[in-house]
Structure 1
Amino acid sequence: MQFSAMETLMVALIVLAVGQWLVHRIHILSQLNMPDPVVGGLLATIIVTALQLGGITLQFNDALKEPAMLFFFGAVGLAADFRLLRRGGWPMLLFAVLVIVLVMLQDLAGVGMAKLMGLSPFYGLLGGSITMTGGHGTGAAWAEVFEHQAGLQGATELAAASATFGLIFGALLGGPLAMFLIRRYHLMVPAHGVEGDPDFDEQETPHPISGASAIRIMMLLSVGVVVGSVAAEHFASVFRLPTFVWVLFVCILLGNAARRLWRVNDATIEVVGNTSLGIFLAITLMSLQLLQLVDLALPMLAMLLVQVVLAVAFITLVTFRMMGRNYDSAVLCAGHCGFAMGATPTAVANIQAVTQHHGPSPLAFIIVPVVGGFIVDIANATVIQTFVTWLS
């Protein structure tokens, strides 16, 4: 059974509504800071898989998935006031270093586990940062390379299954990990936007969402998505970066320019961004092929479980402590968990779930999208290429 783009959007919105209802009705889900799209999306995945086992295959149209993702990152960019970017400073640099260290550890662990179990070390890279940090896109790209250059059998299916495994655990563990740290160390939400804060503008008080503000925000987002997409294609041969990274930075410039011309309604940006993120995650999760995990051999499952333990241990023992052992660092841990085992949208969904339950963390909303969307991709590509050269 095939769904059109509009039918897929309808199902995605139903999935989001069901996820919201379940999180609000089931206390443990709220306490664990589980994102609404993840709850609804995973339930949809289970239903789709059960139907597939019964001989009914559902194929969703993903035409709206990328635009939703780009609109989300554009909204993150519009909300990124340069004053908040300046706040990133040394914490952003330190967080980036920690992220890069974990990427290297993931590949070392993957290669080590592969050799220990008598597998090609390239399988270890596929079960390492290629899919854990890189996700489905990076996994598919490198799987094709390994199939042709290293003769790896079933590398594409293995990469898809590994990325799916990581995405699920990245979404499931981020919120609960942050909740554990917040309760374990009795962390308090710091004051944000109060009088006496040099970055606080008294004129930028909350305003209700209106049709006019929605039109202005949608206009800026549309311009940002188009310009960012053109830039990604134009500079691909010189400086290759994912399209969403270009959109993010174009919208940062547009948002800060717009703030000098009129009042930018941050509430509207938040609504548009959250809705876009929800649609993207819902379509992604309900399209996952859980049966691919069944095809994983026991050694690969063991390797992936080691990666999960490594990521959680590093984030808890190193990231949390190095970032200050405070509330912001706990929220950053939820984000780090998201893109260390899944993807940047998952990381942002994790920190949104935590902050909606416990309180705001502007620092996390600046650091996680920038590091997860920009620095991680460059660092991961460099580390992977270094390991490939070494193993070759």
Structure 2
Amino acid sequence: MEFSQITSLFLAVFVFLIGSFLVKKVPIFDKFCIPAPVVGGLLFAIIVTILNKFNIIEITVDTSLQSLFMLAFFTTVGLGASTTLLKLGGKLLLVYWGMCAILAFMQNIIGITMAQLMGINPLIGILVGAVSMEGGHGGATAYGGTIEQVAGLSTATTIGLAAATLGLVCGGLAGGPTAKYLMKKYNLKSDTEVVEKMEEPKKRHFERLSDEGTWMRQIFLVTLCMALGTLLSGLFASSTGLVLPNYVGAMIVAVIVRFLIDRYSEDTINMPSVLVIGDISLNIFLAMALMSIKLWEIADLALPLLLIILVQVTFVTLFSIFILFRVLGKNYDAAVMVSGFIGHGLGATPNAMANMSAITSKFGPSRNAFLIVPIAGSFLIDIVSMPIIVTSINLLAK
């Protein structure tokens, strides 16, 4: 049975709603901040696998719209790179951002090295590296599709999504205990004075209502960046012979557009509207990606995936304790940010927020963590990890 484009779109939305319901009703999903489209999509994939395994029926989903929603999501990420928020974070944000870049590089090195040691395709190492660890399910879907196209690894997206799911769980399990260890070892305590001057600009940046005209302007900006980004990617590929995925080109254009807008007309962008467009696009393209994975195709790679992820978890934890914690100042804020770093370094930003919330609800508020980690983890991280991942893919796909 092959579902049409429109039916597949309907199923993606339906799968997301089912996932949202399950996340609310099943505590373990909520505890580990597993995204609704991942829960619903995996449930759909498991049902399809069972039907296929027992030769009952073979189901195929039309994912032709997936690339459109993926392109829209990464464009909104680029438009979110506001110079205002960068200024709010200050030097500490730049340091944290730099650590994210180092982590992305090392995750790829670990993944590629482990893959070569186990005698499997090194591109699988990238998929179980920064693509799925720092990139999460969004990165796994985006870069998995790219690797399938340029290297012919047909199971790339499935492998990446499986790794992202395991990483998400590990990030939720490791972040809190690591922060608690640092607090106990260094006897760290919260500075309970909340800095209002840091919070108010952040609130003003996001809390602006939008009307129909505002929505249309945001859609215009998003689609403009998508169109120019696709053109940029095509020109880059034709002139260099290297792959620059459309969503990378769109993000680059969006960052440039945001910089120009911030300089000449700050009121042009309405971030709540842009974030809603991004969230809807992310949920649909993730649901489609998870719905279409063929779990039976990666059964033979289960052990290698687990081993690589175990090494990744160990590295991120040690890196956070011995390097990140120290460069961030060896204080309470640094310990809280460590829990967030592990959360999005192995999973996703919601994981990071959940880890930090668990810590601060028990030990007190953190002045910097809830400003810096969401900014870096939500979109800045993609800006630095993209060139690292794309370069790695181009080198290994030759």
TM-score (norm 1): 0.77
Return the alpha-carbon distance in structure 2 between the equivalents of residues 320 and 95 of structure 1.
14
- CA shift, 1:184, in A, is 6.2
Pair 1:247-2:247 in alignment? no
Return the alpha-carbon distance in structure 2 between the equivalents of residues 217 and 179 of structure 1.
37
Which residue does the alignment assign to 2:272? 267
Which residue does the alignment assign to 1:219? 220
- CA shift, 1:364, in A, is 3.3
- CA shift, 1:50, in A, is 1.9
Residues 75-114 of structure 1 aligned to structure 2 (within 5 Å):
75-85=76-86, 87=89, 88-114=93-119
2:247 counterpart letter in structure 1: F
Change (3 A) 1:49 1:182: farther
Identify unmatched segments of 5+ residues in structure 2: 132-139, 326-333, 361-368
- CA shift, 1:66, in A, is 1.0
SS in 1 for 2:197: coil
Q: Deviations for 1:204-247, whole angstroms, at most 9, x for unmatched residues?
A: 46133432332221111111111111111111133642221221
Change (3 A) 1:111 1:271: same
RMSD over equivalenced CA pairs, Å:
3.6
Change (3 A) 1:320 1:34: farther
Contact 1:83 1:199 in 2 (8 A): no
Which residue does the alignment assign to 1:153? none
Contact 1:23 1:36 in 2 (8 A): yes
- CA shift, 1:385, in A, is 7.3
SS in 2 for 1:63: coil
Pair 1:72-2:73 in alignment? yes
Residues 30-41 of structure 1 aligned to structure 2 (within 5 Å):
30-41=30-41
Contact 2:110 2:129 in 1 (8 A): no
Change (3 A) 1:40 1:72: same
Q: 2:335 aligns with which of 306, 326, 329?
A: 326
Residues 1-392 of structure 1 aligned to structure 2 (within 5 Å):
1-54=1-54, 55-85=56-86, 87=89, 88-114=93-119, 123=120, 125-129=122-126, 132-134=129-131, 135=140, 136-137=144-145, 139-140=147-148, 143-144=151-152, 156=153, 159=156, 162-181=159-178, 195-197=196-198, 200=201, 204=205, 206-236=207-237, 237-238=239-240, 240-259=243-262, 260-262=265-267, 264-294=269-299, 296=300, 300-319=301-320, 321-324=322-325, 325-338=334-347, 347=348, 350-351=351-352, 361-368=370-377, 373-380=382-389
- CA shift, 1:280, in A, is 0.9
SS in 1 for 2:198: coil
- CA shift, 1:11, in A, is 0.6
Contact 2:97 2:381 in 1 (8 A): no
Give aligned pairs, total. Answer: 358
- CA shift, 1:368, in A, is 3.9
SS in 1 for 2:339: helix
- CA shift, 1:159, in A, is 4.8
Contact 1:130 1:380 in 2 (8 A): no
Change (3 A) 1:32 1:273: same
1:333 counterpart letter in structure 2: I
Q: Deviations for 1:287-340, whole angstroms, at most 9, x for unmatched residues?
A: 11011123x1xxx433222101011111122136533343333223222213xx
Return the alpha-carbon distance in structure 2 between the equivalents of residues 246 and 192 of structure 1.
42
2:249 counterpart letter in structure 1: W
Contact 2:81 2:379 in 1 (8 A): no
Of the structure 1 ranges 223-232 and 248-257, higher mean CA displacement relative to structure 2 is found in: 248-257
Contact 2:205 2:271 in 1 (8 A): no
Contact 2:128 2:309 in 1 (8 A): no
- CA shift, 1:198, in A, is 10
1:104 counterpart letter in structure 2: I
SS in 2 for 1:48: helix
Return the alpha-carbon distance in structure 1 between the equivalents of residues 338 and 191 of structure 2.
11
Q: Deviations for 1:160-183, whole angstroms, at most 9, x for unmatched residues?
A: 664353233234434444455566
Contact 2:150 2:397 in 1 (8 A): no
SS in 1 for 2:118: helix
Contact 1:232 1:241 in 2 (8 A): yes
Change (3 A) 1:262 1:183: same
SS in 1 for 2:108: helix
Change (3 A) 1:95 1:203: closer
Taking only the aligned residue pairs, the percentage that are identical comes to 24
1:274 counterpart letter in structure 2: D
1:50 counterpart letter in structure 2: I
Return the alpha-carbon distance in structure 1 between the equivalents of residues 349 and 202 of structure 2.
25
Change (3 A) 1:283 1:185: farther
SS in 1 for 2:267: coil
- CA shift, 1:382, in A, is 5.0
2:8 counterpart letter in structure 1: T
Identify unmatched segments of 5+ residues in structure 1: 115-122, 145-155, 339-346
Q: Deviations for 1:234-269, whole angstroms, at most 9, x for unmatched residues?
A: 111336422212211222233344452526332222
Contact 1:188 1:327 in 2 (8 A): no
